[in-house]
Structure 1
Amino acid sequence: MLKKTVAIAITILLSANHTFVFADAAPQKSGASLMQGSSKQGHLGSIEINPYGNAPLTAIIDLNNNDINDVHVTIHGKNTNSVEISYRVSKSSILTHDGIPIFGLYASHRNQISVNYKLDGLNVHEVYHVQTGGLNNKHHEAMVREFPEANVVKVSEGFEERLYWINSQTANRRSKDLKWSNGGALGFNFASINYITDTEGEVRWILDDSSFSDDEHLLGRGLIMGVHQVSGGEIIFGKGQKYFRMDLMGRMIKERRLPRGYADFSHEIRERPNGNYIMRAAKRNYVRDDGQVVTTVRDHILEVDPSGNVVDVWDLNKILDPLRDNLLGVLNAGAVCLNVDDELSDEMVKIEPDAPFGDGPGVGPGRNWVHVNSIDFDEDDDSIIISPRHQATAIKIGRDKEVKWILGAPDGWTGDLAEKVLKPIDRNGNEISCSHGKCEGDFDWGWTQHTAWLNTHKGTLTVFDNGDARGLEQPPFPDMKYSRAVEYDIDEENLTVEQIWEYGKERGYEWYSPITSNTEYRGDKDTMFIFAASAGLHMKDWTRPILNEIDYKTGEVMVEIKFDNSGPREPGYRAIIIDPEFAFNSKD
Structure 2
Amino acid sequence: MKGRRRLLAAALALATFSVLSAGKLSLPYPPQGELGYVSIDPYKVSPLTAIIDLGGKNIADVKVKVHGKGKGGVDIEYDVGPTKILTYNGVPIVGLYPSHKNKVSVSYTVEGTIKNEEYTILTAGLPYNPVDGDVRFVPEFEPVTVADNFKDRLYFFNLMSRKPEISQFRWGSDGGAAEWDTKPLNVIADTNGDIRWMLDPNSQHDEESVYTSGVMIGTNQAPDGMLITGQGQRLFKFDLLGRHTMVRRLPRGFQDYSHDLEQLKNGNFIVRVAKRDYVRDDGVVVNTVRDHVIEIDRDGNVLDVWDFNKILDPYRDNLLLALDVGAVCLNVDTESEGETLEDLDKNAPFGDIPGVGPGRNWAHINSVQYSYHDDSIIVSARHQGTIKVGRDKQVKWILAPSEGWTGDLASKVLTPVDAKGNNLKCDNGKCEGEFDWPWTQHTSYIGKTNNSVISFDNGDGRGFEQPAFPTDKFSRAVQYEVNEADMTVQQVWQYGEERGYEWYSPITSLTQYFDDKDSMVIFSASRGLFDRENPPELSLVEMEYEGSEVFVEMNVKMPKLHAPGYRAWPISIDAMFGN
1:173, 1:190 within 8 Å by CA — same for their partners in 2?
no
Question: Within the alignment, does 1:204 sit opposite 2:196 as a pair?
Answer: yes
Mapping of 1:188-199 within 5 angstroms?
188-199=180-191
The alpha carbon displacement at 1:401 in A equals: 0.6
Question: Within the alignment, does 1:584 sit opposite 2:577 as a pair?
Answer: yes
Task: Find the aligned partners of 1:514 and 1:582 in 2 and give their Cα distance.
Answer: 33
Tell me the number of residue pairs that the alignment of Structure 1 and Structure 2 aligns.
555
Letter in 1 for 2:437: W
Partner of 2:523: 531
2:531, 2:562 within 8 Å by CA — same for their partners in 1?
no
Partner of 1:180: 171
Task: Find the aligned partners of 2:546 and 2:166 in 1 and give their Cα distance.
Answer: 48
Which of 551, 566, 570 is residue 573 of structure 1 equivalent to?
A: 566
1:457, 1:523 within 8 Å by CA — same for their partners in 2?
no
Partner of 1:369: 362
1:174, 1:191 within 8 Å by CA — same for their partners in 2?
no
2:144, 2:554 within 8 Å by CA — same for their partners in 1?
yes
Partner of 2:152: 161
Question: Within the alignment, does 1:488 sit opposite 2:474 as a pair?
Answer: no
Letter in 2 for 1:191: K
The alpha carbon displacement at 1:242 in A equals: 0.6
Residues 41 and 438 (structure 1), Cα distance of their counterparts in 2 relative to 1, 3 Å cut: same
Letter in 2 for 1:127: E
SS in 2 for 1:479: helix
Partner of 2:435: 443
Which of 417, 420, 424 is residue 425 of structure 1 equivalent to?
A: 417
Question: Within the alignment, does 1:555 sit opposite 2:548 as a pair?
Answer: yes
1:547, 1:562 within 8 Å by CA — same for their partners in 2?
yes
1:441-472 CA distance string (max 9 Å, x none): 10000000000000144640110000000010
Partner of 2:463: 471
Partner of 2:92: 101
Partner of 2:272: 280
1:296-331 CA distance string (max 9 Å, x none): 000010000111110100011011000110000110
Task: Find the aligned partners of 1:174 and 1:416 in 2 and give their Cα distance.
Answer: 45
Question: Within the alignment, does 1:500 sit opposite 2:492 as a pair?
Answer: yes
Task: Find the aligned partners of 2:350 and 2:547 in 1 and give their Cα distance.
Answer: 48
1:239, 1:265 within 8 Å by CA — same for their partners in 2?
yes
Partner of 1:12: none
Question: Within the alignment, does 1:145 sit opposite 2:142 as a pair?
Answer: no
Task: Find the aligned partners of 2:318 and 2:514 in 1 and give their Cα distance.
Answer: 34
Mapping of 1:403-422 within 5 angstroms?
403-422=395-414
SS in 2 for 1:468: coil
Task: Find the aligned partners of 2:84 and 2:336 in 1 and give their Cα distance.
Answer: 51
The alpha carbon displacement at 1:249 in A equals: 1.3
Greater mean alpha carbon deviation, residues 556-565 or residues 172-181: 172-181
Task: Find the aligned partners of 2:341 and 2:303 in 1 and give their Cα distance.
Answer: 36
1:33, 1:39 within 8 Å by CA — same for their partners in 2?
no
1:42-101 CA distance string (max 9 Å, x none): 111100001111111100000011000000000001135310000010011100000000
Task: Find the aligned partners of 2:23 and 2:200 in 1 and give their Cα distance.
Answer: 38
Which of 122, 142, 152 is residue 113 of structure 2 equivalent to?
A: 122
Question: Within the alignment, does 1:40 sit opposite 2:31 as a pair?
Answer: yes
Mapping of 1:54-453 within 5 angstroms?
54-79=45-70, 81-181=72-172, 182-350=174-342, 351-392=344-385, 394-453=386-445
SS in 1 for 2:149: coil
SS in 2 for 1:250: coil
1:193-244 CA distance string (max 9 Å, x none): 0000000000000111423311121101111111111122100001100111
The alpha carbon displacement at 1:263 in A equals: 0.4
Residues 177 and 124 (structure 1), Cα distance of their counterparts in 2 relative to 1, 3 Å cut: closer
Residues 332 and 80 (structure 1), Cα distance of their counterparts in 2 relative to 1, 3 Å cut: closer
Letter in 1 for 2:256: D
SS in 1 for 2:574: helix
SS in 2 for 1:547: strand
Unaligned runs of 5+ in 1: 1-28
Partner of 2:19: none
1:260-285 CA distance string (max 9 Å, x none): 00000000100111111001001111
1:496-547 CA distance string (max 9 Å, x none): 0000010000011111011000001122222211000001112323211100
Identity %: 50
Residues 480 and 348 (structure 1), Cα distance of their counterparts in 2 relative to 1, 3 Å cut: same
Task: Find the aligned partners of 1:244 and 1:333 in 2 and give their Cα distance.
Answer: 32
Question: What CA RMSD, in Å, does the superposition of the two structures yield over aligned residues?
Answer: 1.4
